[in-house]
Structure 1
Amino acid sequence: MNFHPIAAADLGATLGGIAFWTVLLAGWVALFVATIVSIVRAGLSRRSLTRWILLVALAPGIGILLWFAAGRCQPCTG
């Protein structure tokens, strides 16, 4: 079976693209899960816990950024 050289090059680019997006998606899922775990372990009130989880689930990009920038208590007092 003979493959056309352009088809072989396209296959390499396609597989490279699939690998890139798979790694990117896996990283995003890992960051999402790490954020949810961090929220659950933060010792927040039930209301705050629910609000943070909803924010991260409904607006994951901004929710994750907000949680790690402002949501975690630095030295949790109380």
Structure 2
Amino acid sequence: MTAFAANALLAAPDLAQTLGGIAFWVAFLAIHVILFGVTLVSISKAQLSPQSRKRWIWLVVLVPGIGIILWYVSGRPAARNRPSNA
């Protein structure tokens, strides 16, 4: 058996794990980019003062993970001020 064949046999189990890891991170990145874009559109359409809108956009751009979470947890004025139908 040649060294190339031995290396190919050893690398075969690792290839599936490597491809699975790559697929995971590509999907994670795609979801993050989509959520980032949706958040920026949501901020731009929200009824905010220009100064507040600018601060939210800077927060989401500079600290994306925390900024996105904060926007959906506490920042959306439409969700807070929506009248209830009860």
* TM-score when normalising by structure 1: 0.85
Q: 1:45 Cα shift?
A: 1.4
Whether 2:40 is the aligned partner of 1:46: answer no
What are structure 2's unaligned runs of at least 5 residues?
Answer: none
Identity, in percent, stands at 53
CA distance in 2, matches of 1:66, 1:16: 31
* TM-score when normalising by structure 2: 0.78
Partner of 1:11: 15
Residue of 17, 34, 38 corresponding to 1:34: 38
Q: Write out the 4+ residue segments of structure 1 that deviate beyond 6 Å after TM superposition.
A: none
DSSP 3-state at the match of 1:22:
helix
Select between 3-12 and 31-40 the one with higher mean Cα deviation.
3-12
Which protein is bigger by CA-based radius of gyration?
2
CA distance in 2, matches of 1:4, 1:42: 55
Q: 1:27 Cα shift?
A: 0.7
Kindly report the root-mean-square deviation, in angstroms, between the aligned alpha carbons of the 2 structures: 1.7
Partner of 1:22: 26
The answer to which structure has the higher helix fraction is: 2
